[in-house]
């Protein structure tokens, strides 16, 4: 990589790590926030939903803006906007104020994913390697935030993690100003083949894909919102007493670190194994381990959470690959924007619904419900696999 590519990778990986710190800062702090605002799981789930709707739905217009304003500018907007609002969280005195600030942070975060994917595509020649590094950075952010937020929050108060992440975002924002904007893609060279035949879009395949992806988005938000609290409640070490907030965050981080391995393994495998088969298999195993999480405790729940994270995050590079094959190049930005809108936006409904389930039926019920979402996603993925294989068979058997 040349100097410009290295600087771009530095910006996008650090920003991807940060965006998931902002996304995951609240769940480990739920026990502290319940006391601070005299509230319940449902209302805090609503705050997560507000953040996530803003995070997801804003991705669709952001995909269009990345082509017009330049992707680097949108990344800078995310870093400064989210960073400033995270610092302002330190002044929040009511749950309403906190919810409004988190919604604003989510809106600024929504510009990130479409912009970063576009910037990498425009600047980096070895795109596959770059997207892999980028994905791992995000998975590490998801994994680290329960531990970091829980320990900082337990020792210094729930406001401090937000403010620390905000300060880091401002620092990264100033760094982003040193990178030139790239409003247009560079000419394609190398391994890309020029297609002379018109690209045929199978809209039904896209329907089944997006239904599956949306259901997975529900599982992600439902599980990630209450995983630290569930771990703190379900993991007990004989003869030892721990702060539930710190314990839940630590155990959740240990389990989620396997998500980076899932990203790496699936990214390597998708070039050798049919993507639809790989996708369906990852969903099936993810469903199995979420069900085990709901029905177990202590060491078994930690192991099953790690396996869930491995298979869930393994679906992400496969999803990126599938969209790249289902859509022509000039429609892929729109496709990725729609994907993030559905998975982060509509999927965020699970946070409030899971909060209601936790209040009325216990945290365990959340994981049974998320198993159901996994099963639905798997059914959609299986139908997609059958359709793709049938179409390939028909194409191969066509004498023309």
Q: Cα angle vertex 115, ends 189, 98, to 5°?
A: 165
Q: Which residue has the tokens 């389990």?
A: 255
Contacts (Cβ under 8 Å, ≥6 apart) of 44 = 26, 30, 33, 34, 355
Q: What share of the chain is helix, strand, coil (3-state, %, to 5)?
A: 85, 0, 15
pLDDT of residue 195: 45
Question: Of 282, 286, 330, 283, which Cα lies nearest the Cα of 304?
Answer: 286
**Domain containing residue 87: CATH number:** 1.20.1250.20
| pLDDT number for residue 81 | 95
Q: Which long-range contacts (CB under 8 A, 24 or more apart) does 243-246 make?
A: 243/154, 244/31, 245/28, 245/29, 245/31, 245/32, 245/150, 245/153, 245/154, 246/150, 246/151, 246/154
Tokens of 94: 């009511």
Q: What's the pLDDT at 311?
A: 95
**pLDDT for 193:** 43
Which residue, 268, 5, 263, is CA-closest to 120?
5
Whether residue 190 lies inside any domain: the answer is: no
* Interatomic CA distance for residues 143 and 141, integer angstroms: 5
Give the whole-angstrom CA distance, residue 190 versus residue 125: 9
Assess if residue 345 is contained within a domain: yes
Asked if the structure places residue 103 within a domain, the reply is: yes
User: What range defines the domain where residue 93 resides?
Assistant: 3-182+198-397
End-to-end C-alpha distance for the chain, whole angstroms: 44
Domain count, the chain: 1
Q: Could you give the CA distance from residue 352 to residue 354 in angstroms, rounded to a whole number?
A: 5
Query: In sequence order, what DSSP letters do the residues of 123-141 get, joined into one string?
Result: H-SSHHHHHHHHHHHHHHH
Q: What is the pLDDT of residues 96-123, one digit of tens each?
A: 999 999 999 999 998 888 788 777 767 7
| Per-residue model confidence (pLDDT) at position 238 | 64
Residue 206 · residue 338 · CB < 8 Å = no
pLDDT of residue 332: 66
SS3 377: helix
Is 192 part of a structural domain of the chain? no
The confidence score (pLDDT) of residue 8 equals 82
Give the pLDDT score at 378.
Answer: 96
Given a contact cutoff of 8 angstroms between Cβ atoms, the answer to whether 56 and 347 are in contact is yes
Rounded Cα distance, 203 and 321, in Å: 17
Instruction: Work out the number of other CB atoms within 10 angstroms of the CB of residue 128.
Output: 15
pLDDT per residue as tens, the chain (400 positions): 677 778 888 898 999 999 999 988 988 888 899 989 988 888 888 898 889 888 887 887 877 776 677 788 889 999 999 999 999 999 998 999 999 999 999 999 988 887 887 777 677 766 656 776 788 888 888 888 888 898 899 889 999 999 999 999 999 999 999 887 654 444 444 444 444 455 677 889 999 999 999 999 999 888 888 888 888 888 876 666 666 777 777 777 887 788 888 888 887 787 788 889 999 999 999 999 999 999 888 889 889 999 999 999 899 888 877 887 787 766 766 777 788 888 877 887 888 888 889 889 999 999 999 999 999 999 999 999 999 998 876 665 555 4
Classified as helix, coil or strand, 44 is: helix
For residue 109, give the H/E element and its range. helix 95-109
Q: Which residues contact 182 (CB under 8 A, 6 or more apart)?
A: 70, 71, 72, 119, 122, 123
Dist CA 137 CA 299 (whole Å): 27
Single pTM value for the model: 0.75
Amino acid 67: pLDDT: 65
The Cα 244–Cα 229 span in angstroms is 8
Q: CA 143, 127, 340, 139: dihedral to nearest 10 degrees?
A: 0
Q: Residue 163 contacts by C-beta under 8 Å, 6 or more apart in sequence?
A: 86, 87, 89, 90
CB atoms within 10 A of CB 40: 14
Question: Comparing C-alpha atoms, which of 69, 79, 72, 70 is closest to residue 173?
Answer: 79
**DSSP letter string, 277-342:** HHHHHHHHHHHHHHHHHHT--HHHHHHHHHHHHHHHHHHHHHHHHHHHHHS-HHHHHHHHHHHHII
């Amino acid at each position: 990589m040349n100097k410009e590519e290295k600087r771009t990778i530095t910006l996008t990986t650090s920003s991807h790590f940060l965006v998931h710190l902002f996304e995951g800062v609240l769940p480990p702090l739920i026990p502290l926030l319940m006391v601070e605002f005299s509230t319940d799981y449902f209302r805090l789930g609503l705050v997560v939903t507000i953040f996530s709707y803003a995070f997801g739905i804003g991705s669709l217009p952001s995909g269009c803006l990345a082509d017009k304003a330049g992707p680097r500018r949108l990344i800078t907007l995310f870093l400064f906007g989210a960073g400033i609002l995270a610092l302002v969280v330190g002044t929040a005195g009511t749950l309403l104020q906190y919810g409004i600030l988190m919604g604003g942070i989510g809106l600024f975060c929504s510009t990130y994913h479409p912009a970063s994917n576009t910037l990498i595509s425009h600047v980096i020649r070895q795109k596959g390697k770059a997207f892999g590094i980028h994905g791992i950075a995000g998975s590490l952010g998801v994994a680290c935030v329960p531990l970091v937020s829980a320990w900082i929050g337990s020792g210094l108060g729930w406001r401090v993690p937000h403010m620390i992440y905000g300060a880091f975002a401002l620092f990264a924002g100033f760094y982003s100003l040193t990178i030139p904007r790239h409003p247009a893609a560079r000419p394609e060279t190398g391994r890309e083949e020029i297609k002379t035949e018109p690209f045929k879009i199978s809209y039904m395949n896209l329907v089944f894909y997006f239904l599956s992806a949306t259901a997975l988005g529900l599982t992600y938000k439902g599980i990630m919102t209450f995983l630290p609290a569930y771990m703190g409640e379900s993991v007990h070490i004989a003869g030892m007493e721990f702060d539930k907030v710190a314990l839940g965050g630590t155990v959740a981080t240990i389990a989620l670190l396997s998500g980076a391995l899932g990203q790496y393994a699936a990214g390597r495998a998708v070039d050798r194994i049919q993507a639809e088969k790989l996708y369906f298999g990852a969903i099936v195993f993810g469903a199995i381990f979420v069900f085990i999480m709901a029905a177990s405790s202590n060491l078994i729940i930690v192991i099953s959470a790690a396996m869930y994270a491995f298979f869930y995050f393994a679906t992400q590079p496969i999803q990126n690959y599938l969209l790249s094959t289902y859509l022509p190049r000039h429609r892929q930005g729109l496709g990725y924007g729609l994907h993030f809108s559905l998975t982060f936006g509509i999927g965020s409904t699970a946070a409030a619904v899971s909060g209601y389930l936790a209040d009325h039926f216990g945290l365990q019920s959340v994981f049974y419900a998320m198993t159901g979402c996994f099963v639905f996603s798997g059914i959609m993925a299986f139908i997609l696999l059958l359709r793709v294989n049938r179409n390939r068979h028909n194409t191969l058997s066509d004498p023309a």
